[in-house]
Every structure is written in C-alpha cells, then in structure tokens.
Amino acid sequence: METDILIVVGARPNFMKAAPLYRALASRGYTVKLVHTGQHYDANMSDVFFEQLQLPRPDEYLGVGGGTHAEQTANIMVAFEKVLAQATPKIVVVVGDVNSTIACSLVASKAGVRVAHVEAGLRSFDRSMPEEINRVLTDRISDLLFVTEDSGLRNLANEGVPEHQVFFVGNVMIDSLVHVLNTIESDEAARAASVEDRTYALCTMHRPSNVDDFERLQTVVDTIASVARELPVYLPLHPRTRKSLVRHSLLEALSAHENVHVLDPLGYLEFLKLMTGATVLITDSGGIQEETTYLRIPCLTVRENTERPVTCELGSNELVPLDVDRILDRVRTILAGRWKESRIPPLWDGHAGERIADVIAASLAPAQTVP
Ligand code: UD1
C-alpha cells in the first residue's frame, strides 16, 4: 500500500506529540506510517508510552540508540534513508527538537520529500543546548512549520521564513494531556503511582548542563536535599541522570535521604498522576513547563533561558538559577500560597493535531499549489 505520510518519533518527549497527529491524520483516511528511530530504547522510556497513548506499534524500528551526538545522528540518517526510499511518502512529519528530528528532516529534505515540523520556531538562543541547534536547522529545511506560541511566529519571521509556510496551530503536547486527563483517576497504573502526601514536590533533571558536570550535579543534589527539608520530593530518574549520579558517587546519599523518593522513569499516566497532585514542579524539561502551565501548577525551571517563553509570560512557570537558596526561597513562596496568577496560552485547547491535519490535507490535495 502506498504511504502518504511518515511520522518520525525517537525520544520520550516525541511520543505524546505524535499520538494526536497520528489519530487526526489516520482518521482523514491517509496511510500513515510510524517510524521509531530507537533513540530512546528502554521499555520505560519508550514502550509504555505507545501503550498508554494508544499509538500503534511502529511500522519501522531503526534501533539506533546511544552513542555520541554525531554517531547517533549519523546512524539515524543512514537507517532512515533506506526506510524513506522504500516507503516513498508524500510528506515526512517530524516533531520537537531531538537528534531524531534533525536527522530525519535532513534526509527527507535531500531526498526531495517535503518536511513538516511540529513545534517549529521555538528558540532559547542558547547554542550550548544541542536541542537549539536541532531546532534552528530543522526549521531552515522544513516546508510546513507548525507553531505552538506567539514567540515562534516572531522568531521565524525574524529568520526570514516565508509567512505562507508558517501555521499557528497550538500545542499537540496539550492535546495528549487533554486526551488522557479524565482517565488518570480511573487508570490502575496511574492510581498505583499516586502518593499519600498531600503536599510534595515533583522533580525531574536531565539536561547535560545540569547533570553531566560534577559540581553542577552536586548542587542539584544539595538543592533537592534542602527542598526535602520543607516537603517530600519525588524524583523519577532519567537514565542520563542516574548514570551521572552513579559515576560521581552521589546516588546513595540522595536515595538515603528520608524525604527524597528516588524513582525509575515513570509512564505517561503515572507521571501525570504525580504531576496533577504536586504542589510544585522543579525541572529542567521542556514539555513539563507547558504541561504545568496548562494545569496551572507552579513550576520552577532550573535553566537560564527557555525556548517556551509563553509559559513564563502567561503560564505558571518561572526560570530559576541552579542556586540552593534561590530555589528554596521560591519553594517557600509557593508553599505560602503566594504564586502568580496564570493563564492558558491561546489555542492550547486539545485540538492542535486536527488543525495540523487540516493544513497537511490541504497541502496534499491534488489541485492545491503547495509551498
Ligand atoms: C534526549 C533529547 C532531549 C530530551 C530528552 C528527553 C537530544 C539531543 N536530546 O536527551 O532533548 O529532552 O531526550 O528524555 O536528542 N539512555 C538509556 N535508555 C534510553 C534512552 C537513553 O539508557 O532509553 C541513555 C543513553 O544511552 C545515553 C543517555 O541515556 O547515555 C542520554 O540519552 P540521549 O538519547 O543521548 O539523550 P537524552 O539526554 O535522553
């Protein structure tokens, strides 16, 4: 059967973005194939998301995880080129900013296949983040660019991207959140993940800039220990962070702290269950800034910048430096109930996937002039 659309996924944050797109495109009658690069390969970083998001098993699994950035990106490119030549889709859809995103868009673009980038235009203006390089390059070679927030429109205009290629559609990550929100209470796995504490912090850290270097990681550990004197801290550990804690002999002391609960990476529903009950999120993630904004839960993002400024301008997010006292001060403010009023950004309404599918459908229509 001819393939109309290939959707590429690779790493954990991609799965919740792809699920609403897959649903919206397949329901319009297109033949949609899912390619999983295998950038993330552990069951709890990948398989569980397919089950919980009701994504079908990938049509192609490239099995290209691990390695340096160059190795990972290059291996994905080599493997994806073969899949693309076989499938001959009319368009390739990539999401987010991970290495799989740039690797597959580069291959498709050079093969003369149109590329749609979902979550285009976000910029931290910080090239020390590998994701920023992936964002800039993917946008440069994409044909259709789907934007989640106002800043994305401005950034793409400043970079000279023609207006007719850019579509402000809202946020597919929020589509997935809205889709499962009602099921969290009844889902068994999610219920099992709930905790008894009524007040607690949920913490995730995995950025190389926070967890790779010993001194920074030591400060992360000190911060978590200090916050844990105020309220219990739940800490699902990303494989990168676990490896680094072990390498620097910091994991044991952290796990031994009576108010710190070190967990394995959680499934989507389990994590959302913990998030919806949390008093505060302390994180360096991209997507959690958006999810907490939608849920209006205070979020402290331990980074110097964000590519998602709307989460600070309208949402419940605030950037904080990696500094024990500053973070403790913000946690105490939240515990005292003095956090800012926040709003949900425009078009974060659970229907972004449908809007994207409409634009892709129009671009595939035979009589249409395409960008
Ligand atoms: C990647 C993304 C980042 C995203 C994050 C979410 C890039 C450049 N970065 O970072 O934007 O926020 O995913 O998780 O694409 N590992 C495992 N098991 C797995 C996956 C990874 O053990 O299932 C190990 C890898 O072998 C490596 C480390 O964890 O040692 C980091 O994985 P990698 O894919 O290189 O980048 P992330 O830090 O996960």
- Does ligand 1 come within 6 angstroms of the Cβ of 40? yes
Q: Is 18 in the pocket of ligand 1 (CB under 6 A)?
A: no
Ligand 1 lined by 185 (C-beta under 6 Å): no
Quote the pLDDT of residue 187.
87
Ligand 1 center from residue 100 Cα (angstroms): 11
Q: Which of 39, 100, 126, 241 most suits a substitution to test ligand 1, by most atoms within 8 Å of the C-beta? A: 39
pTM of the predicted protein model: 0.96
pLDDT number for residue 141 = 98
Q: Say what the pLDDT of residue 188 is.
A: 87
Which residue's alpha carbon is nearest to atom 22 within ligand 1? 239
Closest ligand 1 atom to 99 CA: 15
Between the CA of 197 and the centroid of ligand 1 the distance, in Å, is 30
Q: What is the pLDDT of residue 369?
A: 55
Q: What's the 368 CA to ligand 1 centre distance in angstroms?
A: 40
All residue ranges of the chain with pLDDT < 50 are none
What number of CA atoms fall less than 13 Å from residue 31's CA on the CB side? Answer: 9
**14 Cα: distance to centroid of ligand 1 (angstroms):** 12
Could you tell me the distance, in angstroms and rounded to a whole number, from the CA of residue 248 to the centre of ligand 1?
19
Q: Which of 77, 98, 131 to mutate to test the pocket of ligand 1 (most atoms within 8 A of CB)?
A: 98
Determine the pLDDT at residue 197: 86
Residue 42 CA: nearest ligand 1 atom is 23
The rounded Å distance from CA 176 to ligand 1 centre is: 21
Q: Let me know if 206 is a catalytic residue.
A: yes
Asked whether 207 lines ligand 1 (CB < 6 A), one says no
Q: Is 11 in the pocket of ligand 1 (CB under 6 A)?
A: yes
Whether the CB of 217 sits within 6 Å of ligand 1: no
Ligand 1: does its nearest atom lie under 6 Å from the Cβ of 240? yes
Q: How high is the pLDDT of residue 58? A: 98
Ligand 1 center from residue 179 Cα (angstroms): 26
Q: How far apart, in whole angstroms, are the C-alpha atoms of residue 317 and residue 240?
A: 24
| Order of strands, sheet of 280-283, starting from the edge strand that comes earlier in the sequence | 260-263, 233-236, 201-204, 280-283, 299-301, 317-319
Q: Which of 206, 238, 261, 351 is an active site residue?
A: 206
pLDDT in tens, 185-203: 888 888 888 888 889 999 9
Secondary structure of the chain in the HEC alphabet?
Answer: CCCCEEEEECCHHHHHHHHHHHHHHHCCCCCEEEEECCCCCCHHHCHHHHHHCCCCCCCEECCCCCCCHHHHHHHHHHHHHHHHHHHCCCEEEEECCCHHHHHHHHHHHHCCCEEEEEEECCCCCCCCCHHHHHHHHHHHHCCEEEECCHHHHHHHHHCCCCHHHEEECCCHHHHHHHHHHCCCCCCHHHHHHCCCCCCCEEEECCCHHHHCCHHHHHHHHHHHHHHCCCCCEEEECCHHHHHHHHHCCCHHHHHHCCCEEEECCCCHHHHHHHHHHCCEEEECCCHHHHHHHHHCCCEEECCCCCCCCHHHHCCCEEECCCCHHHHHHHHHHHHCCCCCCCCCCCCCCCCHHHHHHHHHHHHHCCCCCCC
